[in-house]
Amino acid sequence: MMAAKPKLHYPNGRGRMESVRWVLAAAGVEFDEEFLETKEQLQKLQDGNHLLFQQVPMVEIDGMKLVQTRSILHYIAEKHRLFGKDLKERTLIDMYVEGTLDLLELIIMHPFLKPDDQQKEVVNMAQKAIIRYFPVFEKVLRDHGQRFLVGNQLSLADIILLQTILALEEKIPNILSAFPHLQEFTVKISNIPTIKKFLEPGSKKKPPPDDIYVRTVYNIFMP
């Protein structure tokens, strides 16, 4: 019998689950989603001891109920050979991912800021990306001359970086103007067949967060 598809428990929006959707899609894994829409649904998961730390994202996969975004990403990456070929590569991938997730977190939290603060935060995000994060990856790609960040094969690091770049480009279209290697990287990784499919309409990739998503999240998670 076929293994059950992974099932993702989260509101119907990007948030911290979007990275999980990206990695599953890149690995060519089909998945189901159960969207949280009410506080009662969350309560039911919590009461049923389905959430280790009472939090989502939660992913049902291979008979387990995984929580903690990074743990979920690591499991999927390891299972689908997106985590390097040895400990050194895996650690490098992990360092790149952790740095990128710090930047992505600013994007995830952005819609929940007050309107006045949102403009200022876009400037802050752009500065952090351009001064702290993008030069690191530009140099890596320039120095080793390969199309992937680590080990000359697709890894979790490439996927999370592409996700973050595209989310930033929605707000700041020319953000890569000073980074030719990252521009090339973005085109190449976007054209990997599984990722290309995920970027096309009709996939499970979520649109940028709107007011409905923000309200839903407030209704579910705020006391």
Bigger pLDDT: 59 or 220?
A: 59
Sheet with 64-67: list strands edge to edge: 32-35, 7-10, 58-61, 64-67
The torsion angles phi and psi of 34, rounded to 5 degrees, stand at -115, 110
**Of 138, 143, 204, nearest in space to 176 by CA:** 138
**Which of 162, 173, 171 is closest to 199 using CA atoms?**
162
pLDDT tens digits for range 90-142: 999 999 999 999 999 999 999 999 989 999 999 999 999 999 999 999 999 99
pLDDT for residue 48 is more than 90: no
Output the pLDDT for position 221: 84
**55 compared with 127, residue with greater pLDDT:** 127
Closest Cα to residue 11, out of 106, 112, 90, 102? 112
Mean pLDDT of the chain: 93
CATH number corresponding to 85-191: 1.20.1050.10
Backbone φ, ψ for residue 74 (5° rounding): -65, -40
In this structure, CATH architecture of domain 5-78+197-212: 3-Layer(aba) Sandwich (3.40)
CA 163 – CA 26 distance, rounded (Å): 11
Specify which of 36-50, 109-123, 184-198 reaches the highest per-range mean pLDDT: 184-198
Q: In the chain, what are the domain boundaries?
A: 5-78+197-212, 85-191
Query: What is the pLDDT at residue 145?
Result: 86
Confidence band of 62 (pLDDT split at 50, 70, 90): very high
Model confidence at 50, in pLDDT bands (50, 70, 90)? low
* Residue 24, pLDDT score: 98
